[in-house]
Chains A and B, each alone.
Chain A
Amino acid sequence: MSALRRLVARDLVLAIRAGGGAALALAFFAAVATLVPLGVGPDLKLLVRIAAGVLWVAAVLAALLSLDRLFQADFEDGSLDLMALSPLSLEAVALAKIAAHWLSTGLPLTLIAAVLAVAYGLPASGTVALVASLLIGTPAVSAIGGIGAALTLSIRRGGLILPFIVLPLIAPVVIFGSGAVLAELDGLANGALWFLAAFSLLAVALSPFAAAAGVRLNLGS
């Protein structure tokens, strides 16, 4: 257990220190989320309706920015070989990397989304629903992205292919994530969050195995 935590901590440090992907993802997210209201114009009714959709799409794209390097940096410099030989299973390595990715991008994205929602005039209840949906849904983005990152490991410029593999699988997260906020705004019964939670749990539970299989395949090629 402590080895797993060590790996999460090390990946977090690498993501946060210079050259890591965390700051880039956050900057991208903040830029997109603040530019859209400026581009759309001061139609508050419209902004409230599109807030969740825009913030969700921006969050997913920002997360994808750093996802392609999830295993690749360690693959290229030989660190992944050493991890594969360590007492940790590759499944545990994959889980640690996915967890570190979520902690360094998904979680901060969720937190600043609460602030950025102000630019869209999202009411408090809508902001709470947005933060809840991001909190529940972004782990699924990191997890599914992790599978894509593992599969495209040895492909040069695999980052270009990654979105095409990952986006169809992430689409439900965006649909139900922003749907949960709209349902809240419309005062409808909100089942979307439950579906999102189920989807997220499934993705997080299964992805380490799929990602480890992808890594194993690439280490043996």
Chain B
Amino acid sequence: MTFALDIDKLTCIRGHRVLFEGLRLSLSAGAFVSLEGPNGAGKTSLLRMIAGFLMPAAGTVCIRTEAGVALTDGEDRARAVGWLGHQDAVKPQLTVREQLTFWGQLYGGGAVVLGPFGLAPLADVPGQFLSAGQKRRLALARLTLTGRKLWLLDEPLAALDAAGKALVAETVRAHCAAGGIAIAATHEPLGVDGLSLHLGAA
């Protein structure tokens, strides 16, 4: 079995408004989807539904692991998801290394890697002195630490410079090449080959 994600007839209602309905999406290992659509189209809601935070109004989301186990329950799916939210979850009081070490241990993931993300010179700098782009890099480094197969990225390019954007593309490409799946809600092309799903104004 390969790792796969199946979304069937998914409907999202937020504040009495139907954002999308009957959404179907089947992805298998190595797939990348760029999720597009205007503000308020339900991109973040879809990501939060896949991660199990939001209950869909109708439809199902199923993650199939390599062992052939189907994860349909939200709490079970949560354990397979790597999350890069639009907030960076960076604590001002903790240094870059402290934060990554903590999350690495919480997720039981691998060793902390700083170099490729341009964080090596910042290892002992507290979060409060990081720029928005540097916080984004920290969040990206944390995402790779989680060791999760299904990546959900919400505006991954926000606040990043050209090198940072290239880094995101490269990281996502490597993740997909290693048999993972990535879905990114984004307003500008990530520069990764894959499908694109347009929400809203249907």
Question: Mask for B69-101, Cβ within 8 A of A = 1, else 0?
Answer: 000000000110111011111111110001000
Verify B88–A85 contact, CB threshold 8 A.
no
Verify B108–A79 contact, CB threshold 8 A.
no
Question: Mask for A46-89, Cβ within 8 A of B = 1, else 0?
Answer: 00000000000000000000000000001011110111111110
Verify A78–B89 contact, CB threshold 8 A.
yes
Verify B93–A87 contact, CB threshold 8 A.
no
Which of B88, B90, B106, B148 is in CB contact (< 8 Å) with A83? Answer: B106
B129 part of interface (Cβ distance < 8 Å): no
Q: How many A residues touch B, CB cutoff 8 Å? A: 26
Looking at A9-17, A105-113, A165-173, A188-196, the stretch in contact with chain B turns out to be A9-17
Contacts known (A17-B93, A19-B93); A7 close to B53, Cβ less than 8 A:
no
A202 part of interface (Cβ distance < 8 Å): no
CA distance A18 to B88 in the complex (A): 20
**Shortest distance from the beta carbon of A48 to any chain B beta carbon, whole Å:** 41
- Closest residue of chain A to B14 (Cβ to Cβ) is A221
Verify A3–B105 contact, CB threshold 8 A.
yes
6 tightest A-B contacts by CB?
A78-B87, A78-B89, A17-B93, A79-B89, A78-B85, A6-B105
In the assembled complex, which residues on chain B have CB atoms less than 8 Å from the CB atom of A2? 105
A121 part of interface (Cβ distance < 8 Å): no
Verify A81–B108 contact, CB threshold 8 A.
no
Verify B93–A220 contact, CB threshold 8 A.
no
**Shortest distance from the beta carbon of A153 to any chain B beta carbon, whole Å:** 13
In the assembled complex, which residues on chain B have CB atoms less than 8 Å from the CB atom of A77? 87-91
Which of B55, B88, B105 is in CB contact (< 8 Å) with A78? Answer: B88
**Chain B residues close to A by CB (< 8 Å):** 48, 51, 53-55, 78-79, 81-83, 85-94, 98, 102-103, 105-108, 142, 146, 148
Question: Mask for A1-33, Cβ within 8 A of B = 1, else 0?
Answer: 011001100100110011110000000000000
Which of A7, A19, A86 is in CB contact (< 8 Å) with B92? Answer: A19
A219 part of interface (Cβ distance < 8 Å): yes
Verify B106–A3 contact, CB threshold 8 A.
yes
CA distance A45 to B48 in the complex (A): 61
Contacts known (A3-B106, A3-B108); A14 close to B85, Cβ less than 8 A:
no
Verify A82–B89 contact, CB threshold 8 A.
yes
**Shortest distance from the beta carbon of B99 to any chain A beta carbon, whole Å:** 9
- Closest residue of chain A to B139 (Cβ to Cβ) is A78
**Shortest distance from the beta carbon of A2 to any chain B beta carbon, whole Å:** 7
CA distance A18 to B126 in the complex (A): 12
Contacts known (A81-B83, A82-B103, A86-B107); A220 close to B94, Cβ less than 8 A:
no
CA distance A14 to B95 in the complex (A): 11
Which of A14, A17, A20, A220 is in CB contact (< 8 Å) with B55? Answer: A220
**Shortest distance from the beta carbon of A13 to any chain B beta carbon, whole Å:** 7
Q: Which of A124-154 contact B (CB under 8 A)?
A: none
Verify A81–B91 contact, CB threshold 8 A.
no
Contacts known (A6-B105, A6-B106, A10-B102); A85 close to B51, Cβ less than 8 A:
yes
A sample of 13 more A-B contacts (CB under 8 A), given A14-B94, A79-B91, A87-B106, is: A14-B93, A77-B87, A77-B89, A77-B91, A78-B85, A78-B89, A81-B51, A81-B87, A82-B142, A85-B51, A85-B82, A86-B107, A220-B54
